[in-house]
Amino acid sequence: MKIKNNSSTSWSGWRVEWTWPSGQKITEVWDGSHSGSGASVTVTNMSYNGTLAPNGTTTFGFLADITGTNQTPTVTCANR
Domain ranges of the chain: 2-79
How does pLDDT run across 34-73, given as a tens digit for each residue? 998 778 899 999 999 999 999 999 999 999 888 877 888 8
Query: Class assignment of domain 2-79?
Result: mainly beta
Half-sphere exposure of 53 (CA within 13 A, CB side): 1
The per-residue pLDDT of the chain, averaged, comes to: 91
Q: Are strands 14-19 and 40-44 parallel, antiparallel or unpaired?
A: antiparallel
Residue 62 to residue 60: CA distance in whole angstroms: 7
How does pLDDT run across 5-42, given as a tens digit for each residue? 999 999 999 999 999 888 888 999 999 999 987 788 99
